[in-house]
Amino acid sequence: MSAVDEAKRAERRLGWALCAPAALVMLAVTGWPILHAVWLSFQRYDLKYPDQREFVGLENYLTVLSNQYWWTAFGTTLLIVATQLVIEFVLGMALALIMHRAVIGRGLVRTASLIPYGIVTVVAAFSWRYAWTPDTGYLANLFAADGAPLTERGSALAIIVLAEVWKTTPFMALLLMTGLALVSEDLLEAAQIDGASRWQRFTKVMLPVMKPAILVAVLFRTLDAFRVFDNIVVLTDGAQDTSSVSVLAYNNLIKGLNLGIGSTMSVLIFLAVALIAFLFVKLFGAAAPGADEDGGRR
């Protein structure tokens, strides 16, 4: 065997050895539990009645899928995701343009916009909760005197979306800013000379060039928004049908101690997220993260 082959094999072994610990931890803490969740979801398993544990096949799935609470929570989650994404995209784009173009105070704006990203979500949620609490808050009487916006579904959902948008818009803006960096000034100038208006330059020149960055940002934010949990627990604790699927699964498990139903919801949420990711990759193909040719190569 030649020395070159030997060197190549040594490189492979080193590569595997270095990656093994990270790979093992990730598989042990996600791969195996998700299989375990599937197994638990086929059982009647309520910690309040542990002796009644038995294999029931798809019964839990029938229970969950025919339950109106599940569908309300599912609808609520989708509503939050959709509204949040639209608002966040518009605001994020505006913020990205400001950060990209800023001639004065660029550092200040960037630093300020990182603060929401870093703040503990629960802390921000408490800030919003107290802001909208009657008597305590400076915002409670904004729309109606003696209002209690967190106790009505519509306004409570709006506040949940607001809290989420506040927290994650800066992240969206940062991702979009990397996309803006790809737009060449020459191209914009050429378009301007050809008589394109500001809006045309934005939609016809900038957006197409930014498409990969936009898709990555939107995919990440969609999946992240789908997991909404902290804000809802602090703001309403799921009252007035404001539970997301995560809150519902958590309540069934930790408050209800029903492992069978909790696991069924876990599996369904996993499948929903997998479906969203699959649709993105299928629809947008090469633009999906990790699918690009350079993915992980030297």
Partner 1 sequence: MSRKPADTAKWTVLNAVVVAYALVPVLWIVSLSFKTSAGLSDGRFIPAEWTLANYAAIFQTGEFLRALANSIGIALIATTIAVVLGAMAAYAIARLDFPGKRALVGVSLLIAMFPQVSLVSPLFEVERTLGLFDTWPGLVLPYTTFSLPLAIYTLSAFFREIPWQLEEAATMDGATPGQAFRKVIAPLAAPGVFTTAILVFIFCWNDFLFAISLTSTEASRTVPVALQFFTGDSQFEDPTGTIAAAAVVITVPIVLFVLLFQRRIVSGLTSGAVKE
Shortest distance, position 142 Cβ to partner 1, whole Å:
11
Nearer to partner 1, 146 or 194 (CB): 146
Nearer to partner 1, 156 or 268 (CB): 268
Nearer to partner 1, 113 or 242 (CB): 113
Shortest distance, position 267 Cβ to partner 1, whole Å:
7
Nearest Cα to Cα of residue 226 among 270, 182, 258, 191 = 270
Nearer to partner 1, 156 or 162 (CB): 162
Q: What distance in Å separates the CA atoms of residue 116 and residue 166, rounded to the nearest whole number?
A: 7
Nearer to partner 1, 205 or 265 (CB): 265
Helices (H) and strands (E) in the chain, counts: 13, 2
Token pair recorded at residue 114: 């990182």
Shortest distance, position 132 Cβ to partner 1, whole Å:
11
Nearer to partner 1, 105 or 154 (CB): 105
Q: What distance in Å separates the CA atoms of residue 51 and residue 63, rounded to the nearest whole number?
A: 20
Q: Which residues 6+ apart lie within 8 Å of 141 measured at CB?
A: 134, 147
Q: What distance in Å separates the CA atoms of residue 95 and residue 183, rounded to the nearest whole number?
A: 16
Shortest distance, position 35 Cβ to partner 1, whole Å:
8
CA dihedral 190, 196, 200, 203 (to 10 degrees): -10
Residues 157-193 as b/e (b if ≥16 CB within 10 A, e otherwise) read bebbbbbbbbbbbbbbbbbbbebbeebeeeebeebee
Shortest distance, position 137 Cβ to partner 1, whole Å:
6
Shortest distance, position 292 Cβ to partner 1, whole Å:
7
Beta pairing partners, 55 = 43
